[in-house]
């Protein structure tokens, strides 16, 4: 179990998440040296104040979550505020509505604009994609656009099996990491994913003795 800890990202963005749950997540990330904690934008500033100098984990947040339908200007403001508040991993949700429209070229333009802003602050740029909404062809194309726009990580939202997750990993250049949001999973599956090259396993709750 111990060797998996540096690859685990705890994501507390469910609709009912409380500040008490978020601080439990912060304690776990610090205690077990987990990779990252992802929280709603509302809580980033407070978390950064209490993060602790010894805590080397990433503090991340989401922009345009969960469907990416907001205007680019809104996402830009969200991004700027999150960076000011102390987030060092900004996850931008890909706008699936724009993607499946004739104006889908704007998806790549939007991502490139936000990615430039994020990189100027030396933070990580993650693009979140709800794979359940895409067939294989469109998923691969949307990932390519995100990579071309400068993404450091692609995060796939879907309880994919190990084989499908590793297939997606093959689409990425070595310079781009893959995060898989699994919600919950077994340690055996996590080991297979990490062994196959997945850089982050994203869980909604971390249980050390699972």
Say if residue 193's pLDDT is above 80.
Answer: yes
Angstrom distance (rounded) from CA 114 to CA 119: 9
Instruction: Tell me, yes or no, whether 85 lies in a domain.
Output: yes
pLDDT band at residue 209, thresholds of 50, 70 and 90?
Answer: low
94-147 pLDDT, tens digit per residue, is 999 999 998 779 999 999 999 999 999 999 999 999 999 999 999 999 999 999
Q: Which two structure tokens, joined as six digits, stand for 2?
A: 């111990």
Say if residue 185's pLDDT is above 90.
Answer: no
Angstrom distance (rounded) from CA 195 to CA 199: 9
Domain that holds residue 168: 2-203
Q: Compute the average pLDDT of residues 45-57.
A: 94
Instruction: Tell me, yes or no, whether 59 lies in a domain.
Output: yes
In CATH, what number is assigned to the domain containing residue 111? 3.20.20.70
End-to-end CA distance of the chain: 9
Average pLDDT, the chain: 93
Instruction: Tell me, yes or no, whether 141 lies in a domain.
Output: yes
Instruction: Tell me, yes or no, whether 210 lies in a domain.
Output: no
Number of domains in the chain: 1
Residue with tokens 């949307």: 142
Burial 33-71 (b: 16+ CB within 10 A, else e): ebbbbbbebebbeebeeebeeebebbbbbbbbbeebebe
141-177 pLDDT, tens digit per residue, is 999 999 999 999 999 997 678 898 999 999 999 999 9
What confidence score (pLDDT) does residue 107 get?
Answer: 95
Q: What's the pTM value of the predicted model, to 2 decimals?
A: 0.95
Instruction: Tell me, yes or no, whether 209 lies in a domain.
Output: no
């Amino acid at each position: 179990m111990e060797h998996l800890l540096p690859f685990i990202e705890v994501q507390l963005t469910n609709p009912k998440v409380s500040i008490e749950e978020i601080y439990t997540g912060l304690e776990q990330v610090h205690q077990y040296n987990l990779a990252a904690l992802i929280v709603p934008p509302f809580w980033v500033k407070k978390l950064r104040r209490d993060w602790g100098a010894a805590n080397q984990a990433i503090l991340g947040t989401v922009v345009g979550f969960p469907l990416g339908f907001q205007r680019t200007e809104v996402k830009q403001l969200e991004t700027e505020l999150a960076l000011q508040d102390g987030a060092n991993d900004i996850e931008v949700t890909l706008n699936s509505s724009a993607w499946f429209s004739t104006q889908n070229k704007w998806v790549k333009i939007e991502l490139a604009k936000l990615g430039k802003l994020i990189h100027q602050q030396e933070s990580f740029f993650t693009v979140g994609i709800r794979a359940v909404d895409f067939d294989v062809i469109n998923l691969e194309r949307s990932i390519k656009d995100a990579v071309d726009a400068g993404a450091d990580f692609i995060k796939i939202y879907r309880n994919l099996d190990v084989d499908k997750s590793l297939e997606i990993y093959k689409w990425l250049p070595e310079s781009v990491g893959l995060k898989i949001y699994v919600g919950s999973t077994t340690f055996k599956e996590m080991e297979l994913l990490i062994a196959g090259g997945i850089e982050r396993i994203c869980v909604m709750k971390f249980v050390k003795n699972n």
